[in-house]
Amino acid sequence: METLTVKVRQKGVITLPAEVRQRYNLAEGDIFTLIDLGEGALMLVPKVSEVARLGDEVARQLEAEQVSPEDLLDALDKERAAYYRAHYEEA
């Protein structure tokens, strides 16, 4: 297990070492859950946003179905046109 030292700065800011941020693909604005393990031990666990998780799932499904972003946009344009015709054009 690797041991690293970090310092709590003004307003409780902790800077994670660059090698840790790179290894785990962490970026500014990422959210963590802080778990108190007791006896002075704390654990930070990255919390993946639900939007990012769902976006990744959609990307996996599109790839599995071999649907390109262009195919998706074309289908969206067709659906939008059909919706417009059904709801806004005079009969």
Q: Are 85 and 77 in contact (CB under 8 A)?
A: no
Residue extents of the structural domains in the chain: 10-47, 50-88
pLDDT of residue 16: 92
pLDDT of residue 84: 94
pLDDT of residue 63: 92
pLDDT of residue 83: 95
Residues in the chain: 91
Mean pLDDT per 10-residue segment, the chain (91 residues):
88 92 88 93 86 86 92 94 91 59
Q: How far is Cα 11 from Cα 16, in angstroms, rounded to an integer?
A: 15
- DSSP-assigned letters across all residues of 25-79: T--TT-EEEEEEEETTEEEEEEE--HHHHHHHHHHHHHHHTT--HHHHHHHHHHH
Q: What global pTM score does this model have?
A: 0.50
